[in-house]
Amino acid sequence: MIEPAPMTSLAALGLTAQGGREARITGLSVDSRKTRPGHLFAALPGARVHGAEFVQYALRMGAAAVLTDPQGAALARDVLDENPDVALVVTEDPRAALAFTAALFHGRQPQVMVAVTGTNGKTSVATFTRQIWQLLGHEAANIGTTGVEGAYSAPSSHTTPEPITLHELLADMAAHGVTHAAMEASSHGLAQRRLDGVTLAAAGFTNFTQDHLDYHESFEAYFEAKAGLFTRVLPADGVAVINTDDLKGWTLAKAADERGQEVITVGHDESCDLRITNHRYGATGQELRFHWKGRPQLTRLNLIGGFQAENVMLAAGLAIASGSDPQAVFDSLEHLATVRGRMQIAATRANGAAIFVDYAHTPDAIATALKALRPHVMGRIVIVFGAGGDRDTTKRPLMGKAAAQNADVVIVTDDNPRSEDPAAIRAQVLAGCPDANEVGDRAEAILRGVDMLEAGDALLIAGKGHETGQVIGEDVLPFDDAEQASVAVAALEGRLA
């Protein structure tokens, strides 16, 4: 990683400490266990505990300053009174302050940045945007669930990295010549102000359906978090690129317009700036006809699923919104490659039946993925899926229902049970699809699914996409759906020793 920028006084970071006290800041931390001498420790209100409880440990590790909210200042008052040399910055929204502080501390980001939010499609849109930029000759990367990919590679533990990690990363990307970056804005990331310090040229919205109701209080709170990308993070001179096939898109387009942002609408409606008019589906891709500002365009996409065409259109809109030439963008689309684990053809049986791996892990995504597969498939569609442990429990029966309504054969299995009893999770899913087959072991479920395939049939293995592990309790066991699909085909067709 690069050396921090030389702006290390609190004032240079835009912060004012109580009593005007100054401090020389050598770094930033939110976790007392990672605090180092001279750090500004951000004591943030948490879901479980207030970070101010750890101020005493942060000071023991050598913190020179503390950033917190009034509640945190009260909680840590005794320990701060005993350490009068430590500068204390109190603000109503310390997460937002931390985001701007991290941006100033690290000082650089790729010149052109865009972000995309929505329940489903963020990784796909960010990846397609990066691919378009690369095809146009830019040094580009995407940041999100699958890590940092493109002209710069790094693993990531979050879909939207935390501000300190994020700005350290962006500065390093810029130092390595990355000029264009597309990032995912998760609802957690937006609610926690993780990307408030990023300067965006454009922001995109895909769609809004159920997920994460374990974290957000209500549907409205979940939507408000997403809307923050347009109402708070994207500046007034930024461009909002919005899929209006989802009615919530119109609400966001109005909000963006009211802030003075230019709006590019994407979708099937006649009024859309980037309007999809026709798809023709084949076994390995689709042809797409669309209009840009009323003028027709034709392209072939080597991608499965009508929704991937919508994601491509949103990515094209983001590239145009951030300065690329529209015709050059449209000409690049036929070269786009499948996003790992998103409607990816993982294996094919000797009889031609194809096996797809997809990351659908919400009720809407399961329904969408199955419906999207239908026009590419002449025979039956079999689905193998489960629901993750320690996540929104209310989505489980709805995922089961979506599978039963849209597939011909349903096999319910395990998907990252984490700390929960896998059989109990399966039972909750099965409540929505009582006629389904239940096979707990995911490898066996995939084998059974593959075994059922006759000529013209297809198998959709949903939920894990690019993931390479199955999380059971505290253990992560190696597991890769695409690899298991190949193993199953080889085993059934006698190609294994």
Ligand X SMILES: Nc1ncnc2c1ncn2[C@@H]1O[C@H](COP(=O)(O)OP(=O)(O)OP(=O)(O)O)[C@@H](O)[C@H]1O
Ligand Y SMILES: CC(=O)N[C@H]1[C@@H](OP(=O)(O)OP(=O)(O)OC[C@H]2O[C@@H](n3ccc(=O)[nH]c3=O)[C@H](O)[C@@H]2O)O[C@H](CO)[C@@H](O)[C@@H]1O[C@H](C)C(=O)N[C@@H](C)C(=O)N[C@H](CCC(=O)O)C(=O)O
Ligand Z SMILES: N[C@H](CCC[C@H](N)C(=O)O)C(=O)O
d(CA 19, CA 190): 32
417 annotated as a binding-site residue: yes
Site for ligand Z in 317-376 (CB under 6 A): 361
Q: Which of 4, 5, 22, 215 binds ligand Y (CB under 6 A)?
A: 215
d(CA 338, CA 341): 8
How many residues bind ligand Z (CB under 6 A)? The answer is 8
Q: Measured between alpha carbons, how far apart are the two ends of the chain, in Å?
A: 46
Q: Compare residues 109 and 145 and give the one whose CB is closer to Mg ion.
A: 145
**What amino acid occupies position 173?**
M
Q: Compare residues 261 and 344 and give the one whose CB is closer to Mg ion.
A: 344
Task: Please report whether residue 418 would count as binding ligand Y according to CB under 6 A.
Answer: no
Q: Compare residues 290 and 359 and give the one whose CB is closer to Mg ion.
A: 359
Q: Which of 69, 168, 310, 414 binds ligand X (CB under 6 A)?
A: 310
Q: Which of 94, 189, 306, 463 binds ligand Z (CB under 6 A)?
A: 463
Q: Quick one: which H or E segment has residue 203?
A: strand 202-205
Task: Please report whether residue 47 would count as binding ligand Y according to CB under 6 A.
Answer: yes
Site for ligand Y in 229-288 (CB under 6 A): none
Q: Work out how close the CB of 256 gets to ligand Z at its nearest, in angstroms, rounded to a whole number.
A: 26
Residue nearest to ligand Y (CB): 46
| Helix 395-406 with 422-430: angle, nearest 10 deg | 50
Task: Please report whether residue 474 would count as binding ligand Y according to CB under 6 A.
Answer: no
Cα–Cα distances in angstroms (integers) from residue 169 to residues 4, 110, 193, 205, 436, in the given order: 12, 10, 17, 24, 45
Q: Please, is 108 exposed, middle or buried when counting C-beta atoms within 10 Å of its C-beta (0-12, 13-18, 19+)?
A: middle
Q: Work out how close the CB of 207 gets to ligand X at its nearest, in angstroms, rounded to a whole number.
A: 5
**How many CA atoms within 13 Å lie on the side-chain side of 163?**
31
Beta-carbon contacts of residue 127 (< 8 Å; ≥ 6 apart) = 142, 144, 146, 149, 182, 339
Q: Work out how close the CB of 78 gets to ligand Y at its nearest, in angstroms, rounded to a whole number.
A: 17
**What amino acid occupies position 468?**
T
Written as six digits, the tokens of 443 are: 């490898």
Task: Please report whether residue 122 would count as binding ligand Z according to CB under 6 A.
Answer: no
Per the DSSP assignment, residues forming a β-bridge with 418 are: 472
Provide the 8-state DSSP code for 3.
P
Query: Around Cβ 277, how many Cβ atoms within 10 Å?
Result: 13
User: Choosing among ligand Y, Mg ion, ligand X, none, which partner's interface includes residue 160 (Cβ < 5 to 8 Å by kind)?
Assistant: ligand Y
Q: Which of 458, 194, 436, 497 is nearest to 347 (CA)?
A: 458
Q: Which of 139, 196, 415, 420 binds ligand Z (CB under 6 A)?
A: 415
Task: Please report whether residue 464 would count as binding ligand Z according to CB under 6 A.
Answer: yes
Task: Please report whether residue 49 would count as binding ligand Y according to CB under 6 A.
Answer: yes
186 annotated as a binding-site residue: yes
Query: Around Cβ 39, how many Cβ atoms within 10 Å?
Result: 22
Residues of this chain that interact with ligand X (CB under 6 A) are 118, 120-124, 145, 159, 184, 206-207, 307, 310-311, 342, 358-360, 365, 368-369, 465
Q: Which residues bind ligand Y (CB under 6 A)?
A: 30-33, 44, 46-49, 51, 54, 158-160, 162, 186, 188-189, 215
**Residues annotated within a binding site:** 32, 118-124, 159-160, 186, 192, 194, 391, 415-418, 463, 467
Please give the residue ranges that form the binding site for Mg ion (CB under 5 A): 122-123, 144-145, 159
